[in-house]
Each structure stands twice: as C-alpha cells, then as structure tokens.
Amino acid sequence: MARQRTNDILAIVRAVYQELTGRPVARNCRERTECCQFQLTGRTPHLTKGEALLAAKAFRATGRRELADAADGICPLLNRLTGRCLIYVDRPFACRTHFCAAAGGPYSRHEVIDLIRRLEDLDVLLQGDGPRKLFPAVSAALDELR
Ligand code: SF4
C-alpha cells in the first residue's frame, strides 16, 4: 500500500477517535485490562479495515513483527509483562467504547453511531469485509503493510 494513501487512511481513523474523545460521555478507564481478557468478558473487539491498519502500524512501531494469537483468550496486543496495551494510543474503537463496569460501563450504540458509520464507510472504501475479530483483522493488516 502506498505510504501517502496509508497515511491518509490513518488520519481519517484518528480523526474519528479524536472526535470520540471529545464526546461528553463520562467514563473513567483505569487500564485494569479486564476488557482485554476476552475469555472473561465473552467479547472480542471487532475492527474495520482502517482501524486494523492503524493498530497494525502501531504494533509495528513497537519493533515487533509477528502477532501471535493467544490460546488463553487474552488480547495478543496486551503486553503480559507490563499488563498494558501495546498500542493504547491507537487502540481500536471497541476498546474505547466498551468500558468495564468499574469504568462506567459501555457506551450506548446510539451515542456513537455516527462515528461507527464513518469507520464502516471507510471500510467499504477500502474494500474491507466489514468489522472482523481483532486477531484476523490485525494479522491481515500487517500483511498488507509489508
Ligand atoms: S487492543 Fe489494547 S485495549 Fe484493546 S483489547 Fe487489546 S490490549 Fe486491550
């Protein structure tokens, strides 16, 4: 993928995240990372193609090359040594809206539906397959960035 095109895509996704940050919806994430343990929550974040490209780019920026799926249901982007998200600044939309109960609970869909639609529209533009589970979505994006 040409560098300028990639940068344009990442800028669109970041603009959506930025707008979300500005919404007056009171939540207080303390990085407890409960939501990063999918076997506990029963939920796995789904990413549109633009989000996956941004997550893949952020993952590469950590110096890592390969993403390994975890058999124990913990997010492959969680650093097990530090207990922190490897890509927190560029974490996917779902990670920004599905808060645990301690942080105030998840956003209602209607609070962010316009932003979801923007990510989905970008997905269509990029000929994505719609929102996909985190591991296959980011793995495919890593291949595309090669
Ligand atoms: S991408 Fe980061 S915030 Fe989202 S589930 Fe994985 S480790 Fe947690």
C-alpha span between 138 and 132 (Å, rounded): 9
Residue 78 has pLDDT above 70, yes or no: yes
Q: How much is the pLDDT for 35? A: 85
Residue nearest to atom 5 of ligand 1 (CA): 36
**Confidence category of residue 135, pLDDT binned at 50, 70, 90:** very high
Is any atom of ligand 1 closer than 6 Å to the C-beta of 75? yes
CA-to-CA distance for 66 and 54, rounded, in angstroms? 15
**How high does pLDDT run on average in the chain?**
90
- What is this structure's pTM? 0.91
pLDDT grade, residue 50 (50/70/90)? Answer: very high
Helix axes 49-61, 109-125, angle to 10 degrees: 80
**pLDDT score, position 99:** 67
Q: How many A from CA of 110 to the centre of ligand 1?
A: 23
In DSSP terms, 37 is beta-bridged to 74
Can you give the pLDDT at residue 27?
Answer: 72
DSSP string, 47-81: E-HHHHHHHHHHHHHTT-------TTSB-TTEETT
Answer whether 38's CB lies under 8 Å from 77's CB. no
Token pair listed for 38: 């999918």
The protein residue with its alpha carbon nearest to ligand 1, atom 8, reads 36
Is 29's C-beta closer than 6 angstroms to any atom of ligand 1? no
Query: Does residue 142 line the site of ligand 1, with CB under 6 A?
Result: no
Q: Where do the structural domains in the chain lie, given as residue ranges? A: 3-145
112 within ligand 1 shell (Cβ under 6 A): no
